[in-house]
Amino acid sequence: MSLPKVRVPYLLLFPGFAFLFTFFILPIINLAQTSTQTPIKGGDTGQYQQSFAFSNYIHAFTENKEQFARSFVFATLSTLLALAIAYPLAYAIAFKSGKFKNILLVLVVAPFFTSFLLRTIAWKQILGEEGFVVPGLRSLHIIGQQTTLTSTSFAVVAGMTYNFLPFMTLPLYASLERIDPRTIEAAGDLYANGITAFRRVTVPLSMPGVVAGTLLTFIPAAGDYVNAAILGSPTSKMVGNVIESRYFKIVDYPTAAALSFTLMAAILILVTLYIRKAGTEELV
Amino acid sequence: MATERPISPEARSILNAHISRRGVLAGVGGLGGAGLLAACGGSSSKSSSGNSKVVRWGNWPLYLDYDSKTKKYPTLEKFMTQTGLTAKYFEDYNDNDEFFGKVQAQLKLGQDIGYDVVTPTDWMAARWIRLGYSQKFDVANVPNKVNILDSLAAPSYDPQREATLTWQGIMAGFGWNTQKNPKGIHTLDDLFSPQNKGKIVVLTEMRDTIGIILLAQGVDITKVTETQFMNAVDFMAKKIADGWIRGVKGNEYAQDLTSGDATAVIGWSGDMFILSSENAGKFDFAIPESGGTISGDNLMIPSTASADGKKNAEALINYYYDPTVAAEVAAYVNYVCPVKGAQAAMEKVDPKLVNSEYIFPSDKTASRLHIFRSLTPAEETKWAEAFQKAQGN
């Protein structure tokens, strides 16, 4: 009688497991195998054999330290920028928007209705020589007459901040929206001024949103290569660009795989440290 | 310019064969999808060996005359009427490496890859030949083979043109904004002149960018050595580090020219044709005085095509080497037409294009175009790595 009941959880788990096994576990195993291969002697371009060359990892990392460092710096910068922009935005939507709340939320999500690539290409036009930003800033003498904005690290960070902003805004909104306004009133009753109430009540209660938002922004930003490819220059390449070039241009699958693994491990370590620090209970 | 364009010229300048082929977008889509699939052994394709009347052709997007009203390819329709064969046309050759990754495993096992004709670029065609993944033509079935231009008749990877015939030729040279460069750009020094500092874009296609630098340094690119090559790569790396070169790009350089972000480029003839015809007089293109590069995409029969498939493929290849048919294709794609006699035939197809240097480079121009020598597998990897590193990858 109780057997079917025992099976239910397994049945529920099956689709997810099957999917992840096929499209996550198997490719990861394949990637791991590829990462320690070496070229076949006398073989053609793209022909590799397994030789457990773990030195591939050292080579891949030391050759591309610069791009690794840049990936993490850019990802951190765009996460902080996104947080600085999204927090007031989410706060306003949660507490001050009144009847416009739904419209504002739709507007936050609206960029998703167009392709990620198109939006990034649009940024190139906006920041280009004949867009309105560059001539405007030049006439205000904020930037020099010869300064350009595209093909710079600035453009890459700006593009990433923009592209990941909704991922920061939505979790922040969700946790701010859940805050009972009476807790803030109570802080006032206890003689906290506005700033203290915000610092001691609102911010701690919104921490789950901050943690979720920063993770959702930082992780994809660290592995991103589209923004650097479209908005950057040869001196602002990120590790994602190196992986792409290794895979498609140099046809060096082992190095591409080793780089992917190293990136994955680095993100995993950073995220683990971060969650430890922030506390897992903040995630829910 | 063609009198009637199948899609708006603006859209075409974005979607133009080169753009969709070598643009970064192909890489973006490919890395996620095709990359993993390729790593897992590629997708399976069904054999059509049961049908002897079919020829399946994989070509680059927007690389064949297309009529947007009938949604058909006029020359391909005529081929089917003339021969009674059914041509299945796939615009899915988006990237040389990606396509190779997709079919490599099946080629190795001798399983049908789903195409009787493919269209790889020279260096990739060379790889297929090296690996034994191509089939030689039966000369009796391809009599029009003799129509290939002399300049394209003997590439190092297929000196007798036994297994490949050029589909279209692509010239690389200097493109520039005429307002910023009123005297034009004819030498490497012109390109790196002060008004272009920080606004120069060069091609991601190694053989074109480094080829042009090498030619300017007086090197014969049909015999280039590793030292000479690395020297030219260092030259490029220095120009990047010193802030002269803004980017190394696929066709997005066309967008940079129109947005004003670039004022001078190493670019491709077909793109520059579109740009200069769209922005009357604002852009121009020339083959460098020291020489430019020409490369080609090639019609080739994979080793896995059946006997019937091969015969039909030969009929198709032969058909496109007919001068009139070649002229009709050229009037649409605006790349270098590889077929002798097509210029005369163009008189009837579109008289305005008879003297187009883009489609029919004059002898004077053609004598300045060179083909980059084919590389050994070891060189291919090492040189590509150096070229990628120079651009920050």
Under 8 Å between Cβ of A155 and A122: no
If chain A, 284 residues long, is cut into consecutive pieces of 10 residues, what is the mean pLDDT of each piece? 73 94 94 93 85 94 94 96 96 91 92 88 85 86 82 93 94 93 91 90 91 94 93 92 88 93 94 83 54
B residues 110-149 closer than 8 Å to A (CB): 127, 130-131
SS3 A179: coil
Q: Which residues contact B42 (CB under 8 A, 6 or more apart)?
A: B101, B102, B103, B104, B105, B106
In a domain, A37, yes or no: no
Task: Find out whether B169 and B339 touch, Cβ atoms under 8 Å.
Answer: no
For position A250, which CATH number holds?
Answer: 1.10.3720.10
- Partner residue facing A43 (CB), from B204, B255, B377: B377
In degrees, to the nearest 5, what angle opens at C-alpha A251 toward C-alphas A249 and A256?
95
**pLDDT tens figures, B157-197:** 899 999 999 999 999 999 999 999 999 999 999 999 999 99
pLDDT on residue B46: 40
Residues of chain A found within 8 Å of residue B39, distances taken between Cβ atoms = 27, 30-31, 34, 253
Q: Which helix (H) or strand (E) holds A177?
A: helix A153-177
Instruction: Answer yes or no: do A249 and B131 touch at CB < 8 A.
Output: no
A235: number of CA atoms within 13 Å, CB side? 16
Facing B380 at nearest CB: one of A45, A243, A253: A45
% of chain A exceeding 70 in pLDDT: 96
Query: What are the chain A neighbours of B385 within 8 Å (beta carbons)?
Result: 250, 252
Q: Let me know: does B268 contact B252? Beta carbons within 8 Å.
A: no
Task: Count how many pairs of residues, chain A against chain B, have C-beta atoms within 8 Å.
Answer: 105
Name chain A contacts of B104, Cβ cutoff 8 Å.
Answer: 46
Distance from CA of A11 to the nearest CA of B (A): 28
Phi, psi at A41, each rounded to 5°: -60, 125
What Rg value do the Cα atoms of chain A yield, rounded?
A: 24
* Count of the separate structural domains present in chain A: 1
Rounded to whole angstroms, the Cα distance separating B157 from B141 reads 22
CA of A66, closest CA in chain B: separation in Å?
Answer: 9
Is the C-alpha dihedral spanning A255, A261, A267, A270 positive or negative? negative
Interface test with A, best of B40, B261, B382 (most A CBs within 10 A): B261
Give B147→chain A minimum CA distance, Å.
Answer: 32
Q: How many helices (H) and strands (E) does chain A have?
A: 14, 2
Residues of A in Cβ contact (< 8 Å) with B392: 67, 233-237, 241
Q: What DSSP string runs through B212-266?
A: HHHHHTT--TTS--HHHHHHHHHHHHHHHHTT-EEEEESTHHHHHHHHTS-SEEE
Distance (Å, rounded) from C-alpha B129 to C-alpha B159?
Answer: 12
CA end-to-end span of chain A, whole Å?
36
Q: Across the interface, do B384 and A234 touch by the CB < 8 Å criterion?
A: no
Q: Tell whether B240 is within 8 A of chain A (Cβ).
A: yes
Task: Looking at the complex, report in whole angstroms how far the Cα of residue A47 sits from the nearest Cα belonging to chain B.
Answer: 10
**Which tokens hold the place of B220?**
């014969």
Q: In whole angstroms, give the CA distance from residue A118 to residue B190.
A: 34
For B157, the token pair is 């990877």
- How high is the pLDDT of residue B51? 60
What's the length of chain A?
A: 284
Residues of A in contact with B28 (CB under 8 A): 117, 226, 229
Domain with A196 in it: 58-283
- Nearest CB neighbour to B27, from listed A34, A235, A244: A244
Q: Chain A: residue nearest B248 by CA?
A: A234
Q: What is the CA radius of gyration of chain B?
A: 20
- The CATH number fitting domain B170-293+374-390, selected from 3.30.70.580, 3.40.50.2300, 1.10.540.10, 3.40.190.10: 3.40.190.10
End-to-end Cα separation, chain B, in angstroms:
38
B-chain CB neighbours of A229 within 8 Å are 24, 27-28
User: Which residue in B331, B370, B343, B23 sits closest to B171, CA to CA?
Assistant: B370
Q: In this structure, what token pair is assigned to residue B159?
A: 């000196």
The CATH class for the domain spanning B9-163+301-321 reads alpha beta
Q: Do A26 and B246 touch (CB under 8 A)?
A: no
- Which is it for the CA torsion B119, B125, B131, B136, positive or negative? positive
Nearest CA distance, A39 vs chain B (angstrom): 10
Our CA-based measurement puts residue A235 at a distance from the nearest CA of chain B, in whole angstroms, of 6
- Out of B27, B381, B392, name the one closest to residue A237 (CB): B392
> How far away is chain A from the Cα of B31, in angstroms, using its nearest Cα?
7
- With a cut of 70, list the residues of chain B below it in pLDDT: 1-51
Contact B95 A248 (CB under 8 A): yes
- Strands, E assignment, chain A: 37-39, 48-50
Contact list, B24 vs chain A (CB under 8 Å)? 229-230
ipTM for this model: 0.82
> Considering the entire predicted model, what is its pTM?
0.79
Amino acid at B64: L
3-state SS record for B125-183: HHHHHHCCCECCCCHHHCHHHHHECHHHCCCCCCCCCCCEEEEEEEEEEEEEECCCCCC
Q: What angle do the packed helices B96-109 and B24-39 form, to 10 degrees?
A: 20
Whether A13 is covered by a domain: the verdict is no
Exposure letters B83-115 (e unless 16+ CB within 10 A, then b):
bebebebebebbbbbbbbbbbbbbbeeeebbbb
Nearest of B157, B104, B160 to residue B130 by alpha carbon: B157
Q: Residues A214, A220, A222, A226: what is their CA dihedral angle, to the nearest 10 degrees?
A: -130
How many whole angstroms separate alpha carbon B268 and alpha carbon B208?
9
Question: Where in chain B do CATH 3.40.190.10 domains reside?
Answer: 9-163+301-321, 170-293+374-390
CB atoms under 10 Å from CB of B41, counted, come to: 13
- Cβ-based neighbour number of residue A65 at 10 Å: 10
pLDDT at position B31, please? 35
Q: Return the sign of the alpha-carbon dihedral for residues B173, B177, B182, B188.
A: negative
Beta carbons of B260 and A128 less than 8 Å apart: yes
**Cβ(B256)–Cβ(B200) below 8 Å:** no
User: Using an 8 Å Cβ cutoff, are A160 and A81 in contact?
Assistant: no
C-alpha B89/C-alpha B316 separation (Å) is 11
Q: How close does chain A come to B97, measured CA to CA in Å?
A: 6
Chain B: residue whose CA lies nearest to A152:
B246
